[in-house]
Amino acid sequence: MNKTKPDFEAFLRKTFQSPLDSIAGFLLKLGITANLITLFGLVGNIVAAYLIARGQLLAGGLVAAFMAPLDAVDGALARKAGAVGKFGAFLDSVVDRYDEMILLAGVLYYFQTQAYTLGVMLTYAALCGSVLVSYTRARAEGLGFSGKAGIFSRIERAVVLILGLVFNQLFISVGIIAILANVTALQRIFFVWKQSKQT
C-alpha cells in the first residue's frame, strides 16, 4: 500500500505509548477491564451529546475531548491484560460507531432547533461519510481485501469535531467532516477496486 499521508494515528500512538501503558497498568490493578472503559466512553459521549443538543457547545466539546483518548486506553488495557479477544475487538469497533452517531445526534438536534437546514443536512452527510469509512473497511476485510486507506480516519474526525465545539465553529467542523469523510470512503472503494484488479 502506497502510504503517502503522514499517519496522525501512528504519531499519536508512538508519542503517548508510555503514558498510556502506565495508565493501563494502573487501571488493571484496580480491576477495570477494557470493555468497562469502552462502555464508560459511551456514557461520556451521551453526556457530551446532551450538552451539545442544549447548545452548550464548549462544555460538550470538553467532555468529548476527555472521552476521545479512552479509545486508546481501552486498547492499551486489553493488550496489557493479554486479552485482546475477538469479541472485545468487535465491541470496541461497534461502540466507536455508536459514539460518533450519538455525538452527531447532539449536533443534529442543535442545528435543527436553530432551524438551520444546511447544518442539519451537513451533519447527516458527516454521519454518512463517517460510517461509510468504517463500513467500507469492515466489508473489504470480510471479503479478504485490505480496507485501511484514505486521508481522514476516526481520530482526525474526532479532533476536527472537538475543535469546532470548543472554538464555537461547529458548522465549519461539520462541513470539513462531511467532505473529507466521504472523500475517504470513495478512496477506500477505489483502493479495494485496485486490489481486485491485481489478482
Least distance from its own copies to the Cβ atom of residue 135, Å: 5
Query: Among 14-22, 57-65, 83-91, 150-158, which window interacts with its own copies (CB under 8 A)?
Result: 83-91
Query: Is 103 within 8 Å of 115 (Cβ atoms)?
Result: no
Query: Is 137 within 8 Å of 188 (Cβ atoms)?
Result: yes
Query: Is 91 within 8 Å of 146 (Cβ atoms)?
Result: no
134 touches its own copies by CB under 8 A: yes
Cα–Cα distance for residue pair 1/191, rounded to 1 Å: 9
Single residue of 23, 48, 108, 126 touching its own copies by CB under 8 A: 108
Number of residues that bind its own copies (CB under 8 A): 41
Cα–Cα distance for residue pair 47/63, rounded to 1 Å: 8
172 touches its own copies by CB under 8 A: no
In angstroms, the Cα distances linking 19 to 16, 44, 64, 163 are 6, 22, 20, 23
43 touches its own copies by CB under 8 A: no
Cβ proximity to its own copies: between 20 and 60 the closer is 60
What residues are labeled active site? 96
Amino acid at 127: L
Single residue of 14, 143, 146, 167 touching its own copies by CB under 8 A: 143
Amino acid at 25: G
In angstroms, the Cα distances linking 133 to 136, 150, 172 are 6, 9, 20
| DSSP H helices in the chain | 8-29, 34-53, 57-67, 70-80, 86-113, 117-142, 154-166, 170-198
179 touches its own copies by CB under 8 A: no
131 touches its own copies by CB under 8 A: yes
Least distance from its own copies to the Cβ atom of residue 40, Å: 18
Cβ proximity to its own copies: between 136 and 173 the closer is 136
Single residue of 39, 42, 128, 179 touching its own copies by CB under 8 A: 128
Binding site for its own copies (CB under 8 A): 85-87, 89-91, 93-94, 97-98, 101, 105, 108-109, 112-113, 115, 117, 120-121, 124-125, 127-128, 131-132, 134-136, 138-145, 189, 192-193, 196
